[in-house]
């Protein structure tokens, strides 16, 4: 796919018969550590990545929003801003409809627009293509309506999360939308998902790079497994009389399991969350002190907990982590995202990144007989306007 702005403008003109007047971008993300902690009030440590969704737009003089995705060019979506906005077909547009409805609910005076989306974030890969689409929608609609920058990042993230929850039926936390909207180049973002506070952690060492390996096993958090684990966590918290598993500790979940207050599955889920909250804070400290080996050990521990206690890994993800663990120049590796497929990440020595990527791809092919695309990324900036 041609990704330059000239090609994107040409595609917009083909679809809408006129030239776009502006463009915005919103990145996908990888979560370095802190998985399935966001909806439990814990901590997460994501980075925005160099894969993104771009939205080209042109304001209209009526109250209609027309939307086309380059990945589904024959599935056009239309919204009348004066009518109740409801989910429907095509399904991809529900993420966008929810954002538009949320902006209106927030009191933003939106105008009509033609919007064309194109992205290179792998779909269903656990890299948050949906959040990138949502944030790009919000940025495009605000810009087309002459209100670029009028909605603060935390508010936009909340609107986008609500859109995914209510219009796409995916019960995600707020991490994905927050990092896409508010990521900072050269930084990881430590987010306290209880109070929404953010701390930008430098992550721009030239001798480090993150490799992303896509199993191409598609997952979707609206498919049921994600929601089931979320409810298991909430059930454990209710039985233990805490507001969320953020307030539990290892001793309390051991005691609650021992006396039969929580069942075996709830115990496993809670053990992962409690451990992952601590691992995330320890990993942040390791990153700040430059102790990448310790950071890597915590990445592996996170993966094994997700595999064994949270049970959201899969054979392909486990194999990538195994290959990484015996490859020179790898500090650590783990699955990233909701699980059940998607991508694994590895923190590696930049000088050896190419050979490590080759080892991952060849090892995966040797085991499964199919390709596993691997790409390198650095921490990039959150959403913004394109010139």
> Residue 73, Cβ neighbours under 10 Å: how many?
12
pLDDT: which is higher, 122 or 292: 292
Q: Binning pLDDT at 50, 70 and 90, where does residue 1 land?
A: low
- According to DSSP, residue 219 is labeled -
Q: Binning pLDDT at 50, 70 and 90, where does residue 337 land?
A: confident
- Domain boundaries in the chain? 5-202+381-386, 208-377
For the stretch 185-211, pLDDT in tens is 999 999 999 998 999 999 999 999 999
Q: Name residue 348's beta-bridge partners.
A: 209, 330
Q: Where are the alpha helices (DSSP H) in the chain?
A: 5-16, 92-105, 129-144, 153-166, 175-182, 225-240, 250-258, 264-289, 292-308, 315-325, 353-368
What pLDDT does 220 receive? 57
Q: Are 102 and 156 in contact (CB under 8 A)?
A: no
For the stretch 354-375, pLDDT in tens is 999 999 999 999 999 999 999 9
Give the CATH number of domain 208-377; options: 3.30.70.260, 3.90.79.10, 2.40.50.140, 3.30.70.890: 3.30.70.890
Average pLDDT over residues 75-82: 95
- What is the C-alpha to C-alpha distance for residues 54 and 130, in angstroms, rounded to an integer? 13
Catalogue the active-site residues. Answer: 176
For tokens 């993420």, the residue is 95
What pLDDT does 208 receive? 95
For the stretch 277-326, pLDDT in tens is 999 999 999 999 999 999 999 999 999 999 999 999 999 999 999 999 99
Q: Mean pLDDT for the chain? A: 94
Which SS3 state, helix, strand or coil, does residue 99 take? helix
Task: Please list, in sequence order, all residues whose beta carbon lies within 8 angstroms of the beta carbon of residue 331, skipping any fewer than 6 positions away.
Answer: 292, 293, 295, 296, 299, 346, 347, 348, 349
What pLDDT does 26 receive? 97
What pLDDT does 260 receive? 96
- What is the C-alpha to C-alpha distance for residues 356 and 211, in angstroms, rounded to an integer? 9
- What is the C-alpha to C-alpha distance for residues 103 and 112, in angstroms, rounded to an integer? 13
- Provide DSSP, 34-48: -TT-GGGT-EE-EEE
Is the per-residue pLDDT at 87 higher than 90? yes
Q: Name residue 48's beta-bridge partners.
A: 29
Is the per-residue pLDDT at 124 higher than 90? no
Q: Which of these, 26, 116, 102, 24, lies nearest to 65 by C-alpha position? A: 116
Q: Binning pLDDT at 50, 70 and 90, where does residue 275 land?
A: very high
What pLDDT does 221 receive? 54
- According to DSSP, residue 4 is labeled S
- What is the C-alpha to C-alpha distance for residues 172 and 324, in angstroms, rounded to an integer? 29
What pLDDT does 2 receive? 65
For the stretch 225-239, pLDDT in tens is 888 999 999 999 999
Q: Binning pLDDT at 50, 70 and 90, where does residue 7 land?
A: very high
- What is the C-alpha to C-alpha distance for residues 75 and 68, in angstroms, rounded to an integer? 7
Protein fold of 5-202+381-386: Ribosomal Protein S5; domain 2 (3.30.230)
What pLDDT does 34 receive? 96
Q: Name residue 174's beta-bridge partners.
A: none
């Amino acid at each position: 796919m041609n990704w330059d702005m000239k090609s994107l403008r040409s595609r917009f003109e083909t679809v809408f018969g006129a030239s776009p007047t502006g463009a915005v971008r919103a990145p996908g993300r990888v979560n370095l550590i802190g998985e399935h902690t966001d909806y439990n009030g814990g901590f997460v440590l994501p980075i925005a990545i160099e894969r993104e969704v771009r939205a080209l737009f042109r304001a209209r003089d009526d109250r209609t929003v027309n939307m086309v995705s380059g990945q589904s060019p024959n599935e056009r979506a239309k919204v009348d801003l004066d009518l109740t906005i409801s989910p429907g077909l095509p399904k991809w547009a529900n993420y966008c409809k929810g954002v538009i409805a949320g902006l209106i609910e927030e009191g933003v005076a939106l105008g009509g627009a033609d919007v064309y989306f194109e992205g290179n974030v792998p779909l269903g890969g656990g890299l948050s293509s949906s959040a990138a689409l949502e944030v790009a929608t919000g940025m495009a609609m605000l810009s087309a309506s002459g209100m670029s920058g009028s909605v603060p990042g935390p508010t936009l993230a909340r609107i986008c999360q609500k859109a995914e929850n209510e219009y796409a039926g995916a019960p995600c936390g707020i991490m994905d939308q927050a990092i896409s909207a508010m990521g900072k180049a050269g930084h990881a973002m430590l987010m306290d998902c209880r109070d929404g506070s953010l701390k930008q952690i430098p992550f721009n060492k030239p001798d480090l790079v993150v490799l992303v390996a896509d199993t191409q096993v598609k997952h979707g958090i609206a498919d049921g497994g994600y929601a089931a684990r979320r409810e298991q966590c909430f059930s454990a918290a209710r039985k233990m009389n805490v507001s969320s598993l953020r307030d539990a500790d290892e001793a309390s979940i051991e005691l609650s399991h021992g006396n039969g207050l929580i069942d075996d599955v709830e115990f496993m889920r809670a053990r992962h969350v409690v451990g992952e909250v601590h691992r995330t804070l320890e990993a942040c400290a390791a990153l700040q002190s430059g102790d990448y080996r310790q950071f890597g050990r915590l990445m592996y521990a996170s993966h094994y907990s997700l595999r064994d206690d949270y049970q959201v890994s899969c054979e392909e993800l486990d194999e990538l982590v195994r290959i990484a663990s015996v490859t020179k120049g790898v500090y650590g590796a783990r699955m990233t995202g909701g699980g059940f497929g998607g991508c694994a990440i590895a923190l590696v020595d930049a000088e050896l990144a190419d050979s490590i990527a080759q080892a991952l791809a060849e090892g995966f092919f040797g085991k499964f007989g199919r390709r596993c695309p691997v790409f390198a990324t650095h921490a990039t900036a959150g959403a913004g306007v394109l010139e």
